[in-house]
Structure 1
């Protein structure tokens, strides 16, 4: 996969298809393959005539692994996304993020609205404002050598996911310590980019999609029926809603 530099950090990305560009930003402990290629998003979007760019966030996938939490704020990672657009000489693009990627997409949209045509916040609703829970049990689960000691359900699920994806657990722990920056209602009220908020109806992590959409100046909701946080990303209802939303630009 091709690579580029953002603030001296080497990051990997994919760039497939032709047409209007859409930048995809994956969630925590995931990567461009697991979040976007395997669930069929790249095929769906390229088939619909879009140029698909998907980044591996720092510490994830094929990108450089860092171990200092200070290097992993969502704001910092949003600047990585902007740097990728600069690298590819793309003036503006559609942007879609899932979970942590949605938070990164929000920072990108707030700070560089001229670069974002429309934004999709997948897997994150009111948790963008109020938070998505205590990160410490997840950090502890990622750092421990003895899996049998993990009692926290969410922590254990992220540890298992990290092992299934062959991720660097220490890099993920550093990321988890810094990446869950909340965004205030006041800031989100000033969002200048049309948004789609898509959350599974069984998602216990994301928070309410409607509550987030009610705060945004121009937003709509896609309730992904019967899906939790981990499986909503590849749902056909989600894909249909995104294609309709993008086509209205």
Structure 2
């Protein structure tokens, strides 16, 4: 992976050009920046579910990166290093590093929270916004369920009995994450957006949530609070199984095609 320094923090990223004939004819299209979720990384969230392939074959330049504390990016152990605005700053500085003035941005779960903060702090950098795996809990909840930090710090999965604690811990173990860094991330990033903040996000927005997702919250309720948002409910999918869903991908591609070309 490539690396750059975001305010002194080492961030790992990959930059994929458009593929084949689609790439040759559609190079004018706005790049897409993908922001992964908690305890995940660029590979688990975007490469393995074929998101990068889907987008590059549609003629898109795609940038993926590992959030601080995740994947191959630098691990930090103080909660203050993971405030949502700080993590959104990493995404903004990556675009600057690559010379990208404006991008379409999609975030999943925690990545959706980061993307929303980026849209609020640097609206000029975003043409279209996709908030996936996050609905109304963006504003009426401040992050993953309480106890997830403690789940990261438990000696083993067998020590946990709460189903959601076990789910997050098992996922962190499966991605071989630095659980101490994740505990700090949870504690530092827990902040709900206000109704006023989400109402100030003006970019065209698509909100995508599985119909069986009990972590994200209602996407329709969130869309109703935003200036220019629509919701896509992904049938029969929960928080984890929605990521690579075919209808999810089709909805995102249609949304991107509906946006006005970048000037």
Alpha-carbon shift at residue 134 of structure 1 (Å): 6.4
Q: Deviations over 1:59-91 (max 9, x none)?
A: 001100110001001111000000000000100
Alpha-carbon shift at residue 47 of structure 1 (Å): 0.2
Alpha-carbon shift at residue 192 of structure 1 (Å): 1.5
Alpha-carbon shift at residue 135 of structure 1 (Å): 4.2
CA distance in 2, matches of 1:134, 1:190: 24
Note if 1:129 corresponds to 2:139: yes
Paired residue for 2:71? 61
Alpha-carbon shift at residue 151 of structure 1 (Å): 1.2
Alpha-carbon shift at residue 147 of structure 1 (Å): 2.7
CA distance in 1, matches of 2:10, 2:144: 30
* CA distance 1:134–1:92, shift in 2 (3 Å): closer
Paired residue for 1:190? 200
RMSD: 1.1
1:26-105 superposed matches below 5 A: 26-105=36-115
CA contact (8 A) 1:213 1:219 kept: yes
CA distance in 2, matches of 1:132, 1:185: 13
> Which residue of 147, 150, 154 maps to 2:157?
147
CA distance in 1, matches of 2:60, 2:144: 37
* Structure 1 moving runs of 4+ over 6 Å: none
Per the alignment, in what secondary structure is the counterpart of residue 50 of structure 1? Answer: coil
CA distance in 2, matches of 1:73, 1:135: 17
The TM-score, its normalising length taken from structure 1, stands at 0.98
Paired residue for 1:162? 172
Paired residue for 1:5? 5
Q: Deviations over 1:210-241 (max 9, x none)?
A: 00000000011100000000110110111000
Alpha-carbon shift at residue 133 of structure 1 (Å): 6.3
CA distance in 2, matches of 1:132, 1:199: 17
Alpha-carbon shift at residue 169 of structure 1 (Å): 0.5
CA contact (8 A) 1:135 1:176 kept: no
Unaligned runs of 5+ in 1: none
Alpha-carbon shift at residue 190 of structure 1 (Å): 1.3
CA distance in 2, matches of 1:118, 1:245: 9
The number of equivalent residue pairs is 249
Alpha-carbon shift at residue 45 of structure 1 (Å): 0.1
Note if 1:108 corresponds to 2:118: yes
